[in-house]
Structure 1
Amino acid sequence: MTSEVQSRRTTTRAWWRSVSAWGGVLAVCGGLFHTIVAGLMRSTAWSQIFAEGFFGTLTLDPPPERLALAEAFWFSVGSFGVPLLLLGALVIWVTRRGEVVPSWVGLGVAAWAVLIGLLGSFSTGTLILTTIGVLLAVGGRTARR
């Protein structure tokens, strides 16, 4: 079984040829960027969270005077940046093994991005998320041929 898995793995350079791999790289970069930049933009609130004690500082229904702390959490580590980072890492791992990322994963990400854009606005983030979804969907479709 080990030799079978090793024979399916791609070389270090070959996995970059997959459209899905580019979607995964974009997802990792987007997830990292969103999580880090959002945290840095609210560094004052994070300082207060750490000063008060990290555990139990935030609630789902914060009073108005604690809204800035909840916002800092939900726009950084509590946002979809972390799952996007993990999804991208999984896609990279799968493509490096020579496996195919199912196109429905990309279609789901693209549909989610369009929903976000329709409910909020089509910003740079939603356009990047849509691009990630399209890359994953196209990569899944073209890898089967």
Structure 2
Amino acid sequence: MAITDTRPEPVTSRAWWRSLTAWGGILAMCGGVFHTVVSTLMRQDVWARIADEGFFYVIPLLPSADRLAMAEAFWFSVGSFGVPLLLLGSLVTRLTRRGEHVPGWLGGGVIAWSVLIGLLSGFDGGTLILLLIGTLLAAGAWTTRREPSHR
């Protein structure tokens, strides 16, 4: 019995850009970087205070009134969804470039997450971009499944 190679063929540098999944991954990476950088820059004075205090054990889980600004700065920037969104986008982009399938449930999960955020806090620009990312991932998985080479 011969062992066959089941690894997917890497996609050429031009072809992977045509994938909806790739665009969802790229948008997720850009959104993650943008959110993390901008939210950190918006709280520069607080981050300077955190750095002055030594950076370790500065953010308590239940902050007192004098620590509330530091906790808010943390949870709005690096403790928020920006870093995981960057990592998710990087993984999706890598898988897409290698020609591997990204499951549709991933896009469905991002859609559900963005709808929940929108219902709880309003559908602002960030929530709509998150909804677009989920839609691109789900649509990309659906179109990939329908291609004859992936059956």
Q: Per the shorter chain, which TM-score range?
A: over 0.9
| Deviation by residue 1:86-142 (Cα, 9 ceiling, x = unmatched) | 000000000000011111100100110000000111000000000000000000000
**Aligned residue-pair number:** 143
> Does residue 1:122 correspond to 2:132, yes or no?
no
Structure 1 equivalent of residue 149 of structure 2 = none
> Which structure 1 residue ranges, 5 or more long, are not aligned?
none
- Runs of 4 or more consecutive aligned structure 1 residues displaced over 3 Å after TM superposition: none
Matched, 1:38 2:36: no
Residue in structure 1 matched with residue 30 of structure 2 by the alignment: 29
Q: Secondary structure at the match of 1:11?
A: coil
Task: Letter of the 1:16 partner, please give it.
Answer: W
For residues 115 and 6 of structure 2, what CA distance do their matches in structure 1 show?
Answer: 40
> Does the alignment pair 1:72 with 2:73?
yes
Question: After superposition, what is the alpha-carbon deviation per residue over 1:23-66, rounded to whole angstroms, capped at 9, x for unaligned?
Answer: 00000000000000000000000000000001111111000111
User: Which protein is bigger by CA-based radius of gyration?
Assistant: 2
Distance 2:142 2:109 in 1: 14
Alpha-carbon distance, 1:4 to partner: 6.0
Q: Distance in 2 between the 1:29 and 1:15 partners? A: 17
What is the TM-score when the length of structure 2 is the normalising length?
Answer: 0.92
Using the alignment, how far apart are the partners of 1:30 and 1:112 within structure 2?
15
1:14 aligns with 15
In structure 2, stretches of 5+ residues that fail to align are 147-151
